[in-house]
Amino acid sequence: MLNDKNIQKAKAPRKVNFTEAMILLLVIVSVMIWTALIAKAPTAMGVLYCAIICAVYGMILGNRWDDMFVNVLDVVKTAMPALYFLMLVGFVSAAWIASGTIPYMIYLGLKIIHPSIFLFATFLMTAIASLVTGSSWAIVTSIGLALGGIATGLGIPLPMAAGAIVSGCFLGDKWSPLSDTPNLSAASTGQNIIKLFKSMIPTSGYGAILAAVAFLVMGFMLPVSVNADTSLVNQLTGGLAANFNFNLLLLLPVVFVFVMAALKFSILPVLSMGVGIGMLEAMIFQGKTFKALTGIVWSGYVSKTDIKVIDSLLSRGGAMSIAGLVMLLFAAFTFAGLIEKIGVLDAIMEQLLKVIKSRSSLIVCTLATSIATVFLSSSVYVSIILNGRMYDKAYKKMDLDIINLSRTITEGSAYFGGMCPWSGGALLVISSLGVAPWVYLPYVFGCWGAIFFTVLWAYTGKFMPRAEYNEDGKLVSMETEAQAA
């Protein structure tokens, strides 16, 4: 028996030490930068390359592939609710475009553009458009491009206009159930996305109010021309109105989903009914047939208005549109399961815990490393995955509800995808708006407001729900939202 135990002990895999963990992390970051900036390959491929590196190194350490894959499956299991949710939001986006719901919301937003409140209206408009489409990149290159041209005509400094556009686009993106960023944040921490949205009200929500006030005040302080050319906006609103039959009933699917979610009905059945309402309105108001709608909700809506900006904005959605994101999620959780199994995250966290002595320092440290990871890897996705898995045990050890972790990594990563000059989102902003790198960062008030409130609540203890976990990391009890506030 003793000999058998000695053999088993000799075969036990070795965990990586801190130096190895940092070297491996540096290699991973280098691979992600190469994939994004040099190879210009999909993010999922970079994540898969990193997973392969971790798997090979894990086997060198003595890990069996079967044992590592079991951990991968455990991590993937936490993402399954998000995958079902994503499938449904693909249906939702296509149905709501076909019904005219999303085009009508964009149309209403464009109507509020006025010279004296341009910055405020830009922030609000881009936030709404990004929220309903789930794509900050699409809004930057379409509505954002048009608004940038109007800003030049009004004599508004382009960095300020870019700050308002980025503030709105990336605010809407991280609040949209159709977006990959919040879905990945929720999935990587095993949280419900609706719970994540509610948890961001005291951070991103209050930050948005702060940003809106700042843009409103700035707008009245700037000299603007009332004779500025608004033909781009007029072209968009005219094109939308000519191709869709607009009326207030088109807002019914959105109202229904938000009300039912607020009443705490299960989100998957609610979204399914939202799809049904959208399809019904598409048949009644837009003249679509059920046969055509069946193809639309599966493959996506194809806009044919002959207006390039509108067609690029509205040609999206459908179950197949999230296929790439699903593959990214599988790649991400394979990578997360492997890097977690070989002990890289534990080795780094062990060192961080030497300086983290309180809940407030844990939140601030999470925020700082989330921002740093975006700048190091040029990827919001990598930041969310690594930080979401790395801090899980620390939050549980300090009796913090994991929703705090999900919220913090979202606040520390989402906006910086449009602010880090070598990330895809920021490169898109720079090229689309013709603005120099860095100069618009001080005016991204939505980002700075959200970070301010995240740090404020960390040190005051407000809006930080607590939870108790057992030694195995399983939830024992949870504080209510009212108690947290």
Q: State the average pLDDT over residues 182-211.
A: 91
Both tokens of 84, joined, read 């079902």
The CB density around residue 160, as the number of other CB atoms within 10 Å, is 22
pLDDT for 117: 86
Alpha-carbon distances of 85 from 70, 177, 299, rounded to whole Å: 24, 9, 17
End-to-end CA distance of the chain: 57
User: Are 400 and 394 contacting, i.e. CB atoms less than 8 angstroms apart?
Assistant: no
Nearest to 418 by CA among 386, 442, 444: 444
Lowest mean pLDDT among 78-87, 221-230, 404-413, 422-431: 221-230
**Amino acid residing at 473:** G
3-state DSSP call for residue 478?
A: strand
pLDDT for 135: 79
Nearest to 123 by CA among 61, 175, 166: 166
Q: Backbone dihedral region of 67: left (phi > 0), alpha (psi from -120 to 50 degrees) or beta?
A: alpha
Alpha-carbon distances of 300 from 166, 227, 318, rounded to whole Å: 26, 39, 4
Q: Is the pLDDT of residue 410 over 90?
A: yes
For the whole prediction, is pTM greater than 0.85?
no
Query: pLDDT digits over 108-136, tens only?
Result: 877 777 777 889 999 998 998 888 777 78
Query: pLDDT digits over 147-170, tens only?
Result: 887 787 677 888 999 999 999 999
Burial grade of 274 (CB within 10 A; 0-12, 13-18, 19 or more): buried
Burial grade of 385 (CB within 10 A; 0-12, 13-18, 19 or more): buried
Give the percent of the chain with pLDDT over 90: 30
Residue 34: which pLDDT band, with cuts at 50, 70 and 90?
confident
User: Are 371 and 350 contacting, i.e. CB atoms less than 8 angstroms apart?
Assistant: no
Query: pLDDT digits over 229-254, tens only?
Result: 567 777 888 888 999 999 999 999 88
- Give me the phi and psi of 189, to 5 degrees please: -110, 5
Residue 7: which pLDDT band, with cuts at 50, 70 and 90?
very low
pLDDT for 324: 76
Both tokens of 422, joined, read 């070598």
Q: State the average pLDDT over residues 432-443.
A: 88
Alpha-carbon distance of 78 to 154, in angstroms, equals 50
